[in-house]
A and B are shown apart, each in its own frame.
Chain A
Amino acid sequence: MKIRIKVKHLVLYVLLPLIVLAAAAIWTPTAIERYQASRTPEALRLKTLEEIEQASSKRKLELIVQEAIRPSRYDLYRFDYQPGGNRLMVASEDTEETGFLTPEDRLPLLERYIREGEDEALLIRAARQLAYEYGALGRSEDGEKALKQTFDRMQPGSQGRLELLLDRAEYALNQNDADKAEGLFEQLRKQTGSRGADLNTRTDRISSQILFAQGRPEQAATRAGSNLHSGTPIPRFVSPSPSPSSADSNHSKPESELMLYRNLLERALSRGTTSPASFSGTLTYGDGTPVVRAGLFLRSEKDPGPVREGEPYRTVTDQNGRFDIRNVVPGSYVLELGLDFDQLDGWSWPVQAKDWMVEIGDGQHVEYPIVIQPLIELQSPVNDQEITGDTIDFSWSPIEGAAYYDVIGSIPDQDGNAYVGTAIRNRIPENRLSLTLNELYGTSGGLTMPDDGSWEDTDPNRLLAYMNPDARFSWNVSAYDAEGRIISQSGGYRLSEDNVGNMPFFHVRQRSLTEADRLLLDGKLEQALQLYRRNIDIDPQDTESLYMAIRLLNAKFEIGGDIEAQSEEAELRKRLPNSDSP
């Protein structure tokens, strides 16, 4: 083929477009990178600050509202990891394009808004945020000042003014100034006049708390119960809600919040332990650095569940990780923490309800240091390692103060999900564990209870456990102190690349599936059991079949209630070498 082309056409139609394309190809990636760099939280923070700085005064207030007050990220006591739920439950990652400012950035902006802002609901929100942030900085006088200043700007008799008066009383109470709190509360009573009795349950709770702090527990209990079960719906003034999506509402289930407090009081009264107690301490990492601005909640053991607005005992750690909760009604509490991802990343906050029970005695000042330990690093076997020798050697980084460790293994189900782990070995004194392959095969993977109660529907993967050459096993370690309290574990939040560490997966592929194993995995448990029985009859040394027969008989008894299976299981167990427990 011949191509004839003039030089000028070659240049215009071929070379020029090529050059443009090439330039675009070179420029685009750097442009994308530049764009991405401008979207990091830090870049957005700086951009936001600059934008606010340069805005005209009216626009400035609008931007302050949008960037420093309204974002739900700034709700009080809001943390990425909220207590009261499942350990893995986390607040959903915010996808909104606001809320990148640090508390330090926001202080002057919030100050400006409470001086110049006009919207009542937003003024209240800003004042509360200021009081909260100053509290976290250990500057409670400034917090009180912010509340007072905002209060002074409100129209006399307005709802907002009453709300803020209540806020001020609660703030004073939390600063352990019950008399000041009472004075403020009296003001509120005067202003609401005859409406005093009709105030909302939050008012009752705070009033009751003040009474308790002043050493009048009976009156406190009466006040806490005064609006409850009165037969008529409780009239209350409606708090102007700054944003409907905001969790910072004072009226989420207020009755139950009050009921909770009344129950605490009544229990204390019945026990005769009615002197106000306190709970304080420091929250630090294992390396001694304080955990700053973390949430700390004392929650009634009788009322777990998500943290509500209006919880009486909650605080935020200050710059030294210090926390202090005053005027606590003596009783049993569960201690819970609220932490952000960056506070949690790489550290272990093992939650075992019983371990975090706090008993607060009559008038007692409980000093409670909390240390968050680093996550245990798994060393071997990790990263999908295949076990090749006759033994499996588990090892992990030692934890200071650990008296013993538990090694827990997880066997995935049909879909590869492993929800619950079972102990491989407990109370291991050192940071390593060596098992022969036979010992591992003899280790049980636990039993799932099928919904329909039929023993043949239990998860066969768990029964076959470590004998399954196709499974991807995972494991983790927990460390306990001499009193048996969990102090750290290997499983936790591993968010930044530095903390990802070794992946806790391994494979044991030295065995191949027998015919009986296949029947088992197919869900034909009864047939599998027959075959395992036959295998043992033919070869009494076939321990693997022996393990499986025992596990199946156990399932048959535990789930199906088959007594014969139980006695057969007992007979077979006698044939086990040493002390294996399948």
Chain B
Amino acid sequence: MNGLDNEKDRAALKSRLEEELADTTFTSHTKVLQRTHPSSRRAGLHALWNRELEFTVKPGSLIIGTAALLLLLASPYAVHTLHNTPFPSDKRELIEAGGNVYWEDIYRKEVKRLEN
């Protein structure tokens, strides 16, 4: 009984659907297939490009990560400043210390060297 009813219902549904879709024609079979089953490399890349990633990040590690990143970026500047004294041909000052006359930048450098 049940089977019969089902059969009937399905037939009715089908005829209704056919009736409703009478004006619609589906032509993009290929596009759909390309999306669901990518075949070419370009399409593959495109899919990758648009892929959505999901990360789980703890606030702590986010802060640490950002700090590390900034440090990494700043390191070349820091190294540069540490290794470079003011440039000689810029305004230089003479200073007197212990009866000698020095260029101030060289004197400071020497004092720093002796401290270490």
Contacts and interface: CB of A to CB of B under 8 A. Distances in A.
B94 to A, nearest CB: 6
Nearest to A40: B89
B106 to A, nearest CB: 6
B94 A10 contact: no
B99 A504 contact: yes
Given A3-B54, A32-B80, A500 B87 contact: no
Contact of A28 (B54, B75, B76): B76
A7 B48 contact: yes
A396 interface: no
B110 A500 contact: yes
Interface in A5-21: 5-8, 10, 18, 21
Contacts of A490: 99-100
Interface stretch (B4-12, B20-28, B31-39, B56-64): B56-64
A219 B98 CA distance: 53
Contact of B91 (A22, A95, A503): A95
Given A39-B87, A490-B99, A494-B102, A5 B52 contact: yes
Contacts of A410: 98-99
Q: Interface residues of A: mostly helix, strand, loop or mixed? A: mixed
Contacts, number: 115
Nearest to A39: B89
Contact of B98 (A2, A4, A88, A503): A503
B16 interface: no
A75 B58 CA distance: 71
B96 interface: yes
B111 interface: yes
B53 A495 contact: no
A491 B99 contact: yes
B50 interface: yes
A1 B59 contact: yes
A25 interface: yes
Contact of B58 (A1, A8, A26, A88): A1
A25 B110 CA distance: 29
A41 B88 CA distance: 9
Given A4-B52, A5-B53, 10 more contacts: A7-B53, A36-B87, A44-B89, A93-B94, A383-B114, A421-B99, A491-B100, A500-B102, A503-B114, A504-B100
Interface in B60-116: 62, 69, 73-77, 79-80, 84, 87-94, 96-103, 106-107, 110-111, 114
Contact of B76 (A25, A383, A504): A25
Nearest to A25: B76
A370 interface: no
A497 B99 contact: no
A393 interface: no
A177 B10 CA distance: 134
Nearest to B99: A491
B49 A8 contact: yes
A514 to B, nearest CB: 28
B51 interface: yes
Contacts of A557: none
Interface of A: 1-8, 10, 18, 21-22, 25-26, 28-29, 32-33, 36, 39-41, 44, 88, 90, 93, 95, 383-384, 410, 418, 421, 474-476, 490-497, 500, 503-505
A257 B111 CA distance: 46
Given A7-B48, A495-B101, A495-B103, A1 B57 contact: yes
Given A26-B76, A491-B99, A495-B101, A6 B55 contact: no
9 contacts: A3-B55, A6-B53, A7-B51, A7-B52, A25-B75, A28-B80, A29-B76, A93-B92, A95-B91
Given A39-B87, A40-B89, A4 B111 contact: no
Interface residues of B, number: 43
A26 B77 CA distance: 8
Residue from the set B76, B87, B97, B99 with the largest chain A CB neighbour count within 10 Å:
B99
Contacts of B106: 495-497, 500
Q: Interface residues of B: mostly helix, strand, loop or mixed? A: mixed
A88 B94 CA distance: 10
Given A1-B59, A2-B56, A505 B98 contact: yes
Given A1-B56, A6-B51, A7-B49, A494 B101 contact: yes
Contacts of B77: 25, 28-29
Contacts of B50: 6-8
B96 A495 contact: no
Contacts of A418: 98
Contacts of A421: 99
Given A7-B50, A503-B110, A503-B114, A494 B76 contact: no
Contacts of B107: 500
Contacts of A492: 100-101
Nearest to A506: B98
B33 to A, nearest CB: 23
A526 to B, nearest CB: 33
Contacts of B57: 1-3
Contacts of A28: 76-77, 80
A398 B90 CA distance: 37
A44 to B, nearest CB: 8
B54 A4 contact: yes
A500 B114 CA distance: 12
Contacts of B101: 88, 90, 492-495
Contacts of B90: 39
A6 to B, nearest CB: 5
Contacts of A90: 94, 101
Contacts of A2: 54-57
Contacts of B99: 410, 421, 474, 476, 490-491, 504
Nearest to A1: B57
Residue from the set B77, B97, B98, B107 with the largest chain A CB neighbour count within 10 Å:
B98
A1 B49 contact: no
A476 B77 CA distance: 41
Nearest to B54: A4
Contacts of B111: 503
Contacts of A504: 98-100
Nearest to A344: B101
